[in-house]
Amino acid sequence: MDGLRELASRAGAAFTRATDVRRFRPKLLRLQRKIGITPIGLLGIAMAVGLWLLGFIVAGKTLYLFAYGAALLILVTYFTGKRSLPLTGARSEVRARAREGEILGVDLTLHAKRRLSTVVLEEQIPERLGTPVQLPIATLHSGEDIQHSYRLFCKRRGAYTLGPLIARWGDPIGLTQREMVLVPEFELLIHPNIENVSDRPLTRQFEDPPIRPPVSKPWPSGLEFYGMREYAPGDDLRRIVWRAFAKTGVLMVREAEQGITDQITVILDTGRQYHSKDEPSESFEAGVRVAASLAVKHLTEGYAVSIETNDGPLTRKLRGPGAPMQMLDACARLEMGKHPISKAIMRLATDPRRDAHNVLITPRLKPEEAAQLRLLLNKGVSVLVVALMWDEHSSETLNTATALGCQVVEMRPGQSIAGALYTQVGAGSRR
């Protein structure tokens, strides 16, 4: 009996899915916009064809007349509706970039060159920013202007397409419908919220002597003099000490204080598997805010910063006055993927460079990623691990990263980014 009930419920669910009109609504709308005929018009065409076939079968002249009359009506409404409307529209200037939590106001203006009636003004708005604007206009006199205002609620970072602003009209019967683009669409970037964080870039995990410099500064003014050594192929010629060469006959170069670097690499775990499952993902959004805050902090101080994701580099290595804005634009477009974080760690582990300060932001550090991270640490590279704490399994990341000898901080939902980065859980010492 229970099996029959279950079978009946499944059959009912399948029938409901098959008869759900909402599934076919987007396809019907796309077809309507492409051919300019409404569902009522398509039904009229089907009726005209059916009447003609019925008349052919029963040899009824009256049915033929009804079929030809219906077809003529559809043709007349179709070709008369193809003309463009003497209508112009304008959208007020909207900033191309906004910050999470902002509210933007938009003004629309419609101007008619002659008298119009039964026109619908529509502005396409993403669901996360608000509801689409539909403004039906019964009558618009010649030279008259109509204004309409609405607001955009920038609740979540992302790249959104606003518009286009279109005018829609049709025949009084409702057989055909036409659209005209008044204002094209444009892209609105909503940047993640960032904070003024503290992070001291260190080139290597261990030194001789084991003393870290108290202040880290960017190249070229920040590399404190440490000593001199013999020239090696690949050294910058600007670092040669010519006075020492004149005295000793040996090419000597200036050695900078170990621990100072101008290269910052932020590795953000974009894998969907271990982030929180809510929409939007709370842990992923926290990771994006941490990555953006660190990147902007170091870029404003003159460092060269790049962000690595599971799918590859987010941007090229950036530096300069316009770099923070480029970095925030890239963070606004960032989405989760399917690849694991091990791909990003392995790319860095196989990179021969060792003079970069690395920040790993992840909710889960599995044994496989920990083994790859050890390869990176064995090169003497500094690694700061930001553990995104959103479930009980995230504490394993703290233990694993601390055991590896990384500098570790924990980031919990709703916690201040500056406060989280200020307190280190793991000392990051090597033994």
Tell me whether domains 87-191 and 263-427 share a fold.
no
Answer whether 119's CB lies under 8 Å from 140's CB. Answer: yes
Alpha carbon distance 414, 393 (integer Å): 18
CA distance 150 to 106: 5
Supply the mean pLDDT for the chain: 78
Bridge pairing between strands 225-230 and 116-123:
unpaired
**Which is higher by pLDDT, 421 or 308?**
308
Positions of E strands within 364-419: 383-388, 407-411
Task: Say if residue 143's pLDDT is above 90.
Answer: no
Is it the case that residue 4 has pLDDT exceeding 60? no
Q: Would you state the pLDDT for residue 405? A: 77
Kindly list the domain boundaries of the chain, sorted by start residue. 28-79, 87-191, 225-256, 263-427
Token pair of 111 as six digits = 């101007």
What is the token pair recorded at 135?
Answer: 């403004």
3.65.10.10, 3.90.940.20, 2.60.40.10, 3.40.630.40: CATH of 87-191 = 2.60.40.10
Residue 301 is classified by DSSP as: T
Lowest mean pLDDT among 182-196, 206-220, 387-401: 206-220
Structure-token pair, residue 244: 């020492």
Residue whose C-alpha is closest to residue 162's, from 202, 130, 191: 130
Q: Answer whether residue 333 shows pLDDT above 90.
A: yes
The CATH number given to 263-427 is: 3.40.50.410
**Which tens digits make up the pLDDT trace of 60-106?**
778 778 888 888 887 777 776 666 778 888 888 888 899 998 999 99
CB 427 within 8 A of CB 210: no
The band of 212, judged by pLDDT with boundaries at 50, 70 and 90, is very low
290-318: pLDDT as tens digits: 999 999 999 988 888 999 999 899 988 89
Write down the pLDDT at residue 222: 39
How far apart are alpha carbons 286 and 303 in whole angstroms? 23
Q: How confident is the model at residue 255 (pLDDT cuts 50, 70, 90)?
A: low
pLDDT at 208 over 80: no
CB 385 within 8 A of CB 363: no
Global pTM value: 0.71
Tokens 């280190």 correspond to what residue?
424
